[in-house]
Structure 1
């Protein structure tokens, strides 16, 4: 990492602020607000797409209204294929931007524009572009958890489900890689592929907090448990995994692995879909407490937690929080994203 490049310090939103955005509802209030949201989605020809990590109420609501729950790229692809004129994206800001990049003709709204991503914040476009310019011999591959401006500078955008395959393919062509932003995911890919990779040094505020010693103690308590780990986690956590993969891959592993109990090292918002996929199994959040713990996230992204029924209804009433991406940036970001989609299609067509 170039010494001139410094990772900015970020402020994690306080619990009090998160709770102020979405006050607690009684069961009766919740039913009433959900009914209002469903009516407004219908009136406005809008569809709700929600990330695996937002609260259960929003995931349920997306499913109940013909929307979709998935990862960021799949959310955007669904929006592209759905006839609705308005996309409501429950997630963090880069997800709204990704939806707009792929769907420029549609109105894209978010429950809150305050919902950021630590990986995005720790990879400012201006610094990243300068870093890329210092290494013109490298193919730039960026994770989807980045701004539209960073995607516009990249040669390829990837999700965690396809990153290893795409980097392997580039390495076979003799390409040297500049990777951003997640250092843990980058090292994981580097170990698996052997590729020459120069890594940006950001980390996810959720996955970076899982603790090796505490996880070992939890395994002592539950020796029959399987361990499911997202590759944004530190290397020592990955070493303990029975399955490592993207959100959708971990949900699949929960279904197919023989364990009846799982310790899960990713955002606990995923438990809703895991329990849906494997209703007879038990899921436990991997520990974020222990030696050196700060518990900024406690296994749940504080920015994802900013999305709720209250501000979802508000955005449908006001039409606020619309996502815009400058057209010149959008076109360049679409190019790098489309390359990944084309690669994924090539793999599917070849039977991989």
Structure 2
């Protein structure tokens, strides 16, 4: 059984069901101005006892700065875990809101700042906590499994929090125990997990504005132009895209595929922000963005998250100067949200899955 439960009778794309921001246009800087700005940020990080953690999808300048200052570039869960291991008293999270919240959930004693707290996520936006809680109440016989790309309140209502790399093992584990799953929020990832495990899953009708834009017919045309290219796909993508993949995996798993596979060309169906790390680790490989809305079409997301684009060197400096844009989580919510995250971490350790480097 695999049912999409949230009413969406017209099959309306997620970008038409939530408010998607226009990506900000940051002023162009000369190399000298950019270097001067980075120098000021480095000094502020040291003065504020702060460490910078950046997601693979943010601008390459931010990823480079994180590495240059002893910070970290990673998936959302590893960003939070790195913060827990850091001696710094302040974590500056370059990513989207749920990533800052996850960092705070796992590091309650630390201050967590973000360049812009308004940088949310279509998966988070499309799964409001009150509606989701009511949905869970209507299906009390199901084990609630939520993707990491959710608010602290949604995590607090769950039994398990999973990343894309550990979703399959957790679903198999629950299926073997005879448990039925209520899954949220990404229906594409949920369908992929259901197909691979055979688990009985009731799916919330959410999606990522970036991954939902990838088109199977356009990808097939691109494959014919690059017959030797390996196709790497994030499982948040639609079925017709996932079905053409040579590798389906998390951000970290796709990066590993570029470095490990012998192919010289790769067609990549995930956020283009990941190209910075791929180019860094495999500079001799050719990376091609998978097609989104098709030739001549317009789209709000294309292959880069508009909320991730709200992170830049300019507002990073400002948040360090002002000290605002701080992540706060109600302590009762935090205590409930940390339990399903810890359950996932303990499961990954017990199974030797190694989720530490294989997150969203």
Q: Is the 8 A contact 1:209 1:293 kept in 2?
A: no
Return the alpha-carbon distance in structure 1 between the equivalents of residues 270 and 215 of structure 2.
12
Return the alpha-carbon distance in structure 1 between the equivalents of residues 297 and 200 of structure 2.
32
Q: Closer, same or farther in 2 for the Cα pair 1:218/1:3, shift >3 Å?
A: closer
Deviations 1:102-137 (A, max 9, x none): 000000000001111000000000000000000000
Match of 1:38 in 2: 42
Match of 1:133 in 2: 137
Match of 1:9 in 2: 17
The alignment status of 1:101 with 2:113, answered yes or no, reads no
The alignment status of 1:254 with 2:258, answered yes or no, reads yes
Return the alpha-carbon distance in structure 2 between the equivalents of residues 349 and 119 of structure 1.
25
Q: Is the 8 A contact 2:219 2:291 kept in 1?
A: yes
Q: Is the 8 A contact 2:80 2:102 kept in 1?
A: yes
Match of 2:222 in 1: 218
The alignment status of 1:75 with 2:75, answered yes or no, reads no
Q: Equivalent residues in 2 for 1:1-352 (5 A)? A: 1-2=4-5, 9-15=17-23, 18-19=24-25, 22-290=26-294, 294-348=298-352
Deviation at 1:9, TM superposition (A): 2.1
Return the alpha-carbon distance in structure 2 between the equivalents of residues 58 and 25 of structure 1.
14
Q: Closer, same or farther in 2 for the Cα pair 1:190/1:4, shift >3 Å?
A: closer
Deviation at 1:4, TM superposition (A): 6.1
Return the alpha-carbon distance in structure 1 between the equivalents of residues 296 and 353 of structure 2.
47
Q: Closer, same or farther in 2 for the Cα pair 1:45/1:153, shift >3 Å?
A: same
Q: Closer, same or farther in 2 for the Cα pair 1:2/1:243, shift >3 Å?
A: closer
Q: Is the 8 A contact 2:171 2:197 kept in 1?
A: yes
Deviation at 1:89, TM superposition (A): 0.1
Q: Is the 8 A contact 2:6 2:205 kept in 1?
A: no
Return the alpha-carbon distance in structure 1 between the equivalents of residues 271 and 297 of structure 2.
16
Deviation at 1:23, TM superposition (A): 2.5
Q: Closer, same or farther in 2 for the Cα pair 1:215/1:75, shift >3 Å?
A: same
Give secondary structure in 2 for the equivalent of 1:135: coil
TM-score of the aligned structures, taking structure 1 as reference length: 0.95
Stretch deviating more after TM superposition (119-128 or 3-12): 3-12
Deviation at 1:190, TM superposition (A): 0.3
Give secondary structure in 2 for the equivalent of 1:228: strand
Return the alpha-carbon distance in structure 2 between the equivalents of residues 166 and 131 of structure 1.
21
Give secondary structure in 2 for the equivalent of 1:49: strand
TM-score of the aligned structures, taking structure 2 as reference length: 0.93
